[in-house]
Amino acid sequence: MEEQNKLPLWRKLIYGSGDLGFSMNNSIITAFFSVFMVTVVGMPPGLVAIIFIIGRSWDFINDPIIGHLSDRTRTRWGRRRPFLLFGAIPFGLSFTLLWLGPNFNQTGLIIYYSLAYIVYEALATTVYMPYFALTPELTDDYDERTKLTSFRMMFNIIGSLTAYILPLLIIGNDWTQATKQDVLIMAFVAAAIAATPLILVFFGTREKKEYQRESLPKFFPSLKAAFKNRPFVFGALMYLFTWMTIIVVESNLQFFIIHVVQRQSQSMIIMVSIFVTAIFALPIWNWVSKHWNKRYAYISGVAFWAVVMMVLIFMSPETPFWLIMVLCIMAGIGVSAAQVLPWSIIPDAIEWEEWQTGERNEGMFYSLITLMGKVGMAIAQPLSLLILQFSGFKEGQNVVQSSSGLLGVRLVMGPLPALLLLSGITMAIFYPLTREQHHKIVEELKIRRIERKLKRAEKKPLPGVKDLA
């Protein structure tokens, strides 16, 4: 029975590749959109924060609706995969709208970029919420899900790495010299890269037929079930604080490299070292999770990362490059744990729901997780920008930052991420589902499904048998 839950390597690779484009696009936005808006477009950080807040406000309505529609979808291709096929190309193209750089006044720019962000986020939800919801439908094995998530996170990290390399290849090391034309070329290349893997996932994965036959869920009962699910609630909060940390670090890393350590010429090797380390560290957290459990693996990994981030507050242009590289490698190990473990925890909560209520609402659950991620982005990125604003950080090209502006960058790269990671650890302490509990739940659910099949078979009349009465 367990062998049926094992997935072939090629299917894990194809499924995992789907996260490459989403990660790449979001990382480009996180790492460079603020720099693009402040440096190239010339908008103050505070106004950029307003754009983020307005642009993501629609997600609070959009995400649960898409998740519910995915749960209710019934086609010959399944519940989730049609969204990938028909949404991949529009999703890719919507990304380019964020980088057009129209010659509007500040009010016009706020309106344009807010609307462009709404369109992008809506289309991203349309493809990636169903994509994420495929994870529990491909396997219900506790450790196999961690492996499957590791493959997805491998491509996620590769996407984040590509997000730094691609702009550097097209635009260069210094965004203070970037042109709007080069930025737009970068956007079109990224759009093509983002759409292709999603189409491959459509053709390379299969959903379990038994989930297709389930009754159509209702919106508000599904939403209520998610908030009553303790493993899901604590897992979602772990993901929220972890994702906020990643957003804060990614969105301010360029500012840190340019202004604090002044290593613009070495920015590529700094960023590559973090993400390459994160990729190679994934088997470590797979092993720790398998021989310990997901919760303890998460706590140890993010605690390690928090300590590393606190050291950054002491960095300066005089910091030896070898020490910067050591810290990058150590940070990469922590990033790896933060990427894979929260996502591997979430699918287990779906069996908890089925065990408690008899229903599965993967779409609703994953829509709330994607929404949680966007809430994290809506809070974390504007928060870090506002800290920079109030610290006296100066916008524009070729500017010299004051000591208070540099302190602001140090704060958003050191104490703020550490505080967020500590919050995630607190949620993990109260996470209620262990490996042993999950195994018992899965086995009981298998028995229930067999019993339901037998009951349906008993009620179904034999073919060709007539009523003799």
More confident residue, 111 or 451: 111
More confident residue, 176 or 33: 33
* Mean pLDDT of all residues in 38-55: 80
* DSSP type of residue 7: P
Q: pLDDT > 70: what percent of the chain?
A: 91
By mean pLDDT, which of 57-66, 114-123, 257-266, 424-433 is the weakest? 57-66
More confident residue, 127 or 73: 127
* Mean pLDDT of all residues in 138-146: 74
Residue-level pLDDT at 466: 47
**Confidence tier at 190 by pLDDT (50, 70, 90):** very high
Q: Does residue 421 register a pLDDT over 90?
A: yes
**Confidence tier at 20 by pLDDT (50, 70, 90):** very high
Residue-level pLDDT at 165: 85
Residue-level pLDDT at 211: 57
**Dist CA 429 CA 299 (whole Å):** 8
Whether residue 338 contacts residue 301, with contact meaning beta carbons closer than 8 Å, is answered with yes
Q: Does residue 145 register a pLDDT over 50?
A: yes
Structure tokens at 22: 């989403």
More confident residue, 370 or 32: 32
Looking at domain 10-205+220-447, which of 1.20.1250.20, 3.30.160.20, 3.40.50.300, 1.20.120.1200 is its CATH number?
1.20.1250.20
Structure tokens at 355: 């065990």
**Dist CA 115 CA 352 (whole Å):** 38
**pTM for the full predicted model:** 0.69
**Confidence tier at 44 by pLDDT (50, 70, 90):** confident
Q: pLDDT > 90: what percent of the chain?
A: 20
By mean pLDDT, which of 292-306, 318-332, 345-359 is the weakest? 345-359
List the domain boundaries for the chain.
10-205+220-447
Structure tokens at 130: 């169903």
Whether residue 299 contacts residue 292, with contact meaning beta carbons closer than 8 Å, is answered with no
* Mean pLDDT of all residues in 348-359: 80
**Dist CA 418 CA 409 (whole Å):** 14
- Over its C-alpha atoms, the chain yields an Rg (Å, rounded) of 23
Give the best-scoring range by mean pLDDT among 89-93, 279-283, 401-405: 89-93
Please write the tens of the pLDDT for every residue from 69-79.
877 777 788 78
**Dist CA 298 CA 156 (whole Å):** 18
Burial class (CB in 10 A: 0-12, 13-18, 19+), 13: middle
Residue-level pLDDT at 210: 60
DSSP string, 171-208: T-S-GGG--HHHHHHHHHHHHHHHHHHHHHHHHH----
Instruction: Say which amino acid occupies 52.
Output: F
Residue-level pLDDT at 155: 92
**Dist CA 276 CA 288 (whole Å):** 19
**Dist CA 89 CA 57 (whole Å):** 24
What value, to the nearest 5°, has the Cα angle with vertex 453 and ends 75 and 363? Answer: 40
Residue-level pLDDT at 464: 53
* Mean pLDDT of all residues in 50-79: 77
By mean pLDDT, which of 5-19, 128-142, 192-206 is the weakest? 128-142
Q: Does residue 431 register a pLDDT over 70?
A: yes
Write down the residue that tokens 């993501």 correspond to. 56
Q: Does residue 465 register a pLDDT over 50?
A: no
* Mean pLDDT of all residues in 443-450: 81
Mean pLDDT of the chain: 82
Listed residue (291, 329, 303) closest to 238, CA to CA: 303
* Mean pLDDT of all residues in 335-362: 80
**Dist CA 127 CA 102 (whole Å):** 28
Write down the residue that tokens 């080069």 correspond to. 182
